[in-house]
Structure formats: structure tokens, C-alpha cells
């Protein structure tokens, strides 16, 4: 038996029925049995949700949806698919995220293609979409939305699908990410409603400074404290784009830059919605309020009770009128 084969070299499991036993079962192995073996193997290698991982990897190898996999559990496993399954399981136990292996992630009930060019959309980010949708739905006027740091395009595309009569500008500093975001927008049928721009925050919009072109600015910026990055799960640390995670020395760099730049581009009364990391909500809210350009923000909790979205509206500081070129960071 070639030793570079994953299944035969796996450690024995209960009752001495090791992965090597797969070969003994040979053609008699059912899909369910393979699924159980795979689940245990992933579990032994400390993969979270081993059953779901095993189901999705097996379904991929057999070219089935998860549902049709269930319908075939009692069927025979095609022996010739064994190596393909081994390869996928190997990738998963070495830490590669399931979503990169499968190439997809669902977000806001839309299927997004994902690969290492972009951060995998997180379920908690749906709160940012939900809050943006409810704000944008309050008026029937055509509105212009800016998303800063779109990555896979998840937020912009979800908004374009959900809200009629909006036009979206979605930026990212990574050209590579924008290519994928455009593909996702095309598959979702909203490419014509989103302008994708390669930009470091608001840099290329300088000519619109003080014209206050946007009704709403939304962003899920990188917000992990740089010193914490080494402590992230290896799935994130070793595979996801660091530029989409690294929020500088204290994780707050992008909030500071956005808060200093946004007022020149947001109409009076326009909205700013930001996703924040655990424990950052109050700090971001304080900075917004201290800037003098924003109302005291609302802090909205995600499903785990973590304050996840900071939502506020632009005001004109009562003590002074808006100055030209104000609200700008010299680093721009
Ligand atoms: N939510 C991501 C995480 O859990 C971080 C995303 C970000 O920095 N915006 O790692």
C-alpha cells in the first residue's frame, strides 16, 4: 500500500477498524460508512463541525448537493473517488478553510465565490447589511452608497440585490479582490449597479471632496489588533488575506482614517455604518462623537450579543460651520 495515501495510513479507530480497514471493506463500503469514517478522522484532527465538513467534502467529491448526498447514504461509495476524497480531507486537516476548498460561501442567501484573494464573508456581517437595508429603505429617493473595502463584494452585492434605486461605489485596495467581487456581482446580476474602484479608502474621490456625494457609507474594515494576528485560528491566520484583517497597532487604524475622511463625502444627515470587533464599539463611538461630525452612535449587537455594528448620522457641528477641506487626514 503506498504510504503517501492518506486513508490507509490513518490511525486506527475504535475496534481496530482503522482507515486501513477501508481497503478491506473495499467495494462493500457505503457512502454512509465513508461519511462516518471521514467525520471521525476530521474530529480526531480537531476540526470543528467534523460532520458538516465531511458531508460537504464528500458531496463535492461525488458531485452531489448535500441533500442528494443524504438520499444516497446507503448506496455504494465509488472506490475510484477515494483519492480525491483523501486529497480534500488532507487539505482541510492542514488548516485550509472549508470555504476555500469548496470555493463558495453563502451570505445573505446569495452564493459567493471565495478564494484566498478575499476574506470569507462572516455571518455576523449580515447585521451590517440588515441595518444598511433598513436605513436605505426609509426613502424612495435614488441614493448613492459607498462601501469601503468590499473584498468578495458580499456587502455591496447584498445591498444591490435588496434595495432598489441605489447606486453603489465599492472600493478595495486589492485589485485581485476586485476581480473576484466583479465576478460575484455578475453572477448575482447586479454588476451594472456597482462601480468597483481600486482605492485606499477615499483617495481617488478627492475631486469630490466637500461635495458630499454619498447618502450612506458602509464598511467592515480590517480591525484585528496586529499583535493578535498570531493568535488567530490557523484557518484565518495562515490562509485569509492579512491585509483584510490587520487593523494596525491597536486594531483601530481604519476607523480613525474613515472617521477623519468620511465627513467630506457624506451628505448632511447621511449615514455611516461600521462593523467593529469585540470590545471596539465604545471606542469607535467615542471617536465618532468626538470628531464633532456625527450623532452619538447606536451600537447594535449581533446574534452572540457582541456589539458589532456602529451606526450614526452626519451632523454639522453646532459650534462651527463645516470648513472647506475639513475632516481630512493629512496622510491622504
Ligand atoms: N471578523 C473577522 C474575524 O473574525 C475579522 C474581519 C475584519 O477584520 N474586518 O477574524
Largest CA distance in the chain: 81
Contacts of residue 240, defined as CB under 8 A and 6 or more positions apart, other chains included, come to 97, 116, 119, 120
**Ligand 1 atom nearest residue 224's Cα:** 8
**Whole-prediction pTM:** 0.88
**CATH annotation of 108-313:** 3.40.50.150
Domain boundaries, the chain: 6-94, 108-313
Distance CA 225, CA 207 (A): 32
Distance CA 72, CA 61 (A): 14
CA-based radius of gyration for the chain: 24
Residue among 224, 231, 236 to mutate when testing ligand 1 (max atoms within 8 A of CB): 224
Distance CA 175, CA 194 (A): 16
**Ligand 1 atom nearest residue 149's Cα:** 9
Nearest to 34 by CA among 105, 83, 67, 1: 83
Taking CA atoms only, the protein residue closest to ligand 1 atom 7 is: 222
CA atoms within 13 A on the CB side of 170: 32
Q: Which CATH number fits domain 6-94: 1.10.287, 3.40.50, 1.10.8, 1.10.3470?
A: 1.10.8
Contacts of residue 41, defined as CB under 8 A and 6 or more positions apart, other chains included, come to 10, 13, 19, 89, 93
Burial label for 318, CB within 10 Å (0-12, 13-18, 19+), is exposed
Residues having CB within 6 Å of any atom of ligand 1:
122, 220-224, 236, 245
Q: What is the pLDDT along the chain (332 residues), one digit of tens a residue?
A: 333 444 543 444 443 344 554 544 455 799 999 999 999 999 999 999 999 999 999 999 999 999 999 999 999 999 899 999 999 999 999 999 999 999 999 999 999 999 999 999 999 999 999 999 999 999 889 999 999 999 999 999 999 999 999 999 999 999 999 999 999 999 999 999 999 999 999 988 999 998 899 999 999 999 999 999 999 999 999 999 999 999 999 999 999 999 999 999 999 999 999 999 999 999 999 999 999 999 999 999 999 999 999 999 999 765 544 455 544 443 33
Cβ atoms of residues 148 and 171 within 8 Å: yes
Amino acid at each position: 500500500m503506498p504510504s503517501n495515501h492518506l486513508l490507509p495510513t490513518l490511525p486506527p479507530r475504535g475496534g481496530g477498524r482503522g482507515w486501513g480497514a477501508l481497503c478491506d471493506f473495499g467495494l462493500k463500503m457505503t457512502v454512509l460508512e465513508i461519511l462516518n469514517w471521514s467525520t471521525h478522522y476530521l474530529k480526531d484532527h480537531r476540526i470543528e463541525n467534523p460532520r458538516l465538513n465531511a458531508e460537504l467534502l464528500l458531496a463535492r467529491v461525488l458531485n452531489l448537493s448535500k441533500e442528494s448526498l443524504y438520499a444516497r447514504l446507503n448506496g455504494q461509495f465509488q472506490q475510484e473517488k477515494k483519492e480525491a476524497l483523501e486529497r480534500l480531507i488532507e487539505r482541510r486537516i492542514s488548516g485550509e478553510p472549508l470555504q476555500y476548498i469548496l470555493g463558495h460561501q453563502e451570505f445573505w442567501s446569495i452564493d459567493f465565490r471565495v478564494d484566498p484573494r478575499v476574506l470569507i464573508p462572516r455571518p455576523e456581517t449580515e447585521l451590517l447589511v440588515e441595518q444598511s437595508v433598513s436605513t436605505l429603505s426609509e426613502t424612495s429617493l435614488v441614493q448613492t452608497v459607498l462601501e469601503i473595502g468590499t473584498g468578495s463584494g458580499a456587502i455591496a452585492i447584498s445591498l444591490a440585490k435588496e434595495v432598489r434605486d441605489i447606486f453603489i461605489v465599492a472600493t478595495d485596495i486589492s485589485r485581485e479582490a476586485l476581480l473576484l467581487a466583479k465576478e460575484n456581482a455578475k453572477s448575482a446580476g447586479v454588476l451594472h449597479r456597482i462601480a468597483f474602484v481600486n482605492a485606499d479608502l477615499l483617495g481617488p474621490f478627492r475631486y469630490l471632496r466637500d461635495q458630499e456625494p454619498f447618502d450612506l457609507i458602509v464598511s467592515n474594515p480590517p480591525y484585528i489588533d496586529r499583535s493578535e494576528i498570531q493568535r488567530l485560528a490557523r484557518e484565518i491566520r495562515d490562509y485569509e488575506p492579512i491585509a483584510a484583517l490587520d487593523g494596525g497597532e491597536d486594531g483601530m487604524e481604519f476607523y480613525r482614517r474613515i472617521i477623519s475622511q468620511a465627513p467630506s463625502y457624506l451628505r448632511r444627515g447621511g449615514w455611516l455604518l461600521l462593523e467593529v470587533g469585540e470590545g471596539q464599539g465604545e471606542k469607535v463611538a467615542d471617536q465618532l462623537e468626538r470628531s464633532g461630525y456625527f450623532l452619538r452612535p447606536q451600537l447594535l449587537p449581533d446574534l452572540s450579543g457582541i456589539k458589532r455594528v456602529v451606526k450614526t448620522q452626519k451632523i454639522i457641528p453646532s459650534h462651527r460651520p463645516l470648513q472647506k477641506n475639513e475632516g481630512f487626514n493629512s496622510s491622504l
